[in-house]
Amino acid sequence: MKVTYSWEDGPELLRVTEIEEEKINEVYKEFTSLLPFFKNPERTGSAVNEDGDFEKENNGLFLLEAYTPIGINASPTHKLFSELAEIGKNISVTPHSIVNYFKSFNRLSYLFSAYKNGQYYKAHRDSSSLTGLLWLSEKNYEGGDLLFPDFNTTITPEKNTLIVFPSHYLHEVTTVKTQSEDYVRFCVSAFFV
């Protein structure tokens, strides 16, 4: 894994690339094997605004709905993010960096998300310390970008790339546009709580 850190003229980010192909393939296999069980936004229990309206239109599944709390240790996704957490604990940053949360988080939670044409995730903040996003699909669609409105920063998803950022950053996924009727954007969200 290659980890790069940035916090200049934009959001504080860790970008992880060059993830071992075998590990990515195992995560992808896990993700796609669970696609038939993905739920609509009303059933994932997340992303509701103050008026009770849903902030997203995509399908997803919390990984703990597929595993027992002990069984999660066998998950390729959990193994990959646990490895990243260990690397994160050893990254040298300023004392005020949010990356220091790697040293004190208590648990990881995962949400698998898949997007079809017209689907999105409106601007929101997560209720964790850090959020990690791992993109598992080629960008063969328009939109579907990660937007940080407060920083006027857009990140285009890159297959097999993982980014980590402070969960309190306002972030959104722009509307996916494609001619395909299938899912085209696959993303694993990891929440470091």
Domain 2-192 - what CATH class? Answer: mainly beta
- List the chain domain ranges: 2-192
Predicted confidence at residue 53, as pLDDT, reads 64
pLDDT band, very low/low/confident/very high, at 41 (cuts 50, 70, 90): confident
Predicted confidence at residue 103, as pLDDT, reads 87
CB atoms closer than 10 angstroms to residue 24: 17
| More reliable by pLDDT, 190 or 48 | 190
User: Where does residue 147 rank: exposed (0-12), middle (13-18), buried (19+ CB within 10 A)?
Assistant: middle
How confident is the prediction for the chain on average, in pLDDT?
Answer: 91
For residue range 157-178, list pLDDT tens digits in order.
999 999 999 999 999 999 999 9
| DSSP summary character for residue 103 | G
pLDDT band, very low/low/confident/very high, at 45 (cuts 50, 70, 90): low
Residues of the chain with pLDDT > 70, as a percent, come to: 95
